[in-house]
Amino acid sequence: MNFSQIPGQKAVIDRLRSSVAENRVSHALLFYGPEGSGKFALALAFARYVSCENRTAEDACGVCPSCVKYDKLIHPDLHFVFPVIKKKSGTEPVSDTFISQWRAMVLRSAWFSLSTWTEAMEVANEQALIPVAEAAEIIRKLSLKSFESDFKIMIIWLPEKMNAETANKLLKIIEEPPARTLFILVSEEDDKLLPTITSRCQHIRIPAIPSGDLSAHLVQTLGIDRDKASGIAAIANGNLVRAMELARDDESTTIHLDRFTRLMRTAYTRDIHSLVTWSEETAGLGRERQKSFLSYSLRMIRENFILNFNGRENRLVYLTRAEDEFSDRFHPFINDRNINALNREFNLAYAHVESNGNTKMIFLDLALKTMRLIR
Ligand SMILES: [Zn+2]
């Protein structure tokens, strides 16, 4: 993670760089601010900068052994602590229990939310915490001599997920850490941290990303066009995690529209062979994606009915440009004669998918009923 890859935080980056240049890096930093502002990415870029053997005024060199290990998140003097899930049996987990899932997630993107992380641990509905066993791990790791670099760095992501017992065990080491140790606490809810912890840290506020920077970043990293990027940035409100989700949803809208269009075309032309292919392909998707497609179809059917009913002039219709182009020709086919039956069939398919029905049967049945209803 380079500083230059982090959008919208120039002032903070300048401040961090000058603390290194002036040799006054505090031994405990608290990065705090809203979700998606880049706190974790900054912590990582800063740790890499501090550890680099050949840094410039601007950034870490990117090629020294330290940078190379940082880029794979395997530097022996870089430690991570993050909330984890207690498994049903066995020993109490600590961060190292999940370190490979953690590295894989961070290497995909240094912008993530707690739900991204619990999904990566594959335990989406559990409460993630930093358990008391972690405190002993932190103390043990920091009491080791540093292996390769001047600094041992401990990045604690979401320290508010520690209970008081864990936090109390860490007070002493955060206040008086072993020489050349740097704590970086990355918090989204700093008001939930114990004052005894926060009073031992230097506070650095990481604000939401200005929407111009956010939108430029989307254009650059996702290759989407400027209009779309600024639309997304306006909704995301300075949160890059949210912006990425919105961009992804947009992508799945395109895929859903394509699937919906193919169903309606083949149903209209009574191309049974293609309908069977369509239903087999759709049956092969995961159930969540199938449900998402069926909800999408219900929305398209509803919007096209309204379009047909109100006419294009007085429309109360919410469609993307691609949906609008398709609906322009499609809407006459959704009318009083079939709207209720179509609604019923798509809702029924949704209920059957949800109750673990045979999806090959469900989608073939839906395709054939659509063929009967659409003309
Ligand atoms: Zn370097």
> Given a cut of 80, is residue 207 above it in pLDDT?
yes
Tell me yes or no: is domain 249-374 CATH 3.40.50.
no
Amino acid at the residue 267: A
Give the model's confidence band at 124: pLDDT under 50 very low, under 70 low, under 90 confident, else very high: low
Reduced to 3 states, what is the DSSP secondary structure of residue 162?
A: strand
77 CA to centre of ligand 1 in angstroms:
14
Mind listing the pLDDT tens digit for each residue in 96-115?
A: 999 999 999 999 899 998 88
Mind listing the pLDDT tens digit for each residue in 54-93?
A: 999 999 999 999 999 999 999 999 999 999 987 666 678 8
Mean pLDDT for 307-315 is 68
In words, the CATH class of domain 3-207 is: alpha beta
59 CA to centre of ligand 1 in angstroms:
9
Closest CA to 130 of 157, 105, 153: 157
Residue 74 has a CB neighbour count (10 Å cut-off) of 11
Q: What is the distance between the alpha carbons of residues 184 and 174, in angstroms, rounded to a whole number?
A: 10
Q: Say if 3-207 and 249-374 have the same CATH topology.
A: no
134 CA to centre of ligand 1 in angstroms:
30
Give the model's confidence band at 223: pLDDT under 50 very low, under 70 low, under 90 confident, else very high: confident
The answer to whether 129 and 83 have CB atoms below 8 angstroms apart is yes
102 CA to centre of ligand 1 in angstroms:
23
142 CA to centre of ligand 1 in angstroms:
22
Mind listing the pLDDT tens digit for each residue in 233-252?
A: 887 889 999 898 888 777 77
Averaging pLDDT over each range in 6-20, 170-184, 310-324, which range is the top one? 6-20
Closest CA to 101 of 113, 84, 87: 84
Question: For 138-143, which contacts have Cβ atoms below 8 Å and span 24 or more sequence positions?
Answer: 138/79, 138/81, 138/170, 138/173, 139/169, 139/170, 139/173, 141/79, 142/79, 142/173, 142/177, 142/178, 142/181, 143/178
Mind listing the pLDDT tens digit for each residue in 335-345?
A: 999 999 999 99
Strand order from edge to edge, sheet including 181-187: 78-81, 152-157, 181-187, 28-32, 202-205
65 CA to centre of ligand 1 in angstroms:
7
Mean pLDDT for 142-151 is 79
Tell me the sheet residues that pair with 129: 84
106 CA to centre of ligand 1 in angstroms:
19
Residue 360 has a CB neighbour count (10 Å cut-off) of 14
258 vs 92 pLDDT, higher one: 258
Closest CA to 183 of 212, 205, 151: 151
Mean pLDDT for 271-290 is 91
> Given a cut of 70, is residue 318 above it in pLDDT?
no
* Whole-number average pLDDT of the chain: 90
pLDDT, residue 115, reads: 83
Mean pLDDT for 111-133 is 84
pLDDT, residue 367, reads: 97
> Given a cut of 90, is residue 125 above it in pLDDT?
no
Q: What is the distance between the alpha carbons of residues 221 and 290, in angstroms, rounded to a whole number?
A: 29
61 CA to centre of ligand 1 in angstroms:
4
Extents of the domains making up the chain:
3-207, 249-374
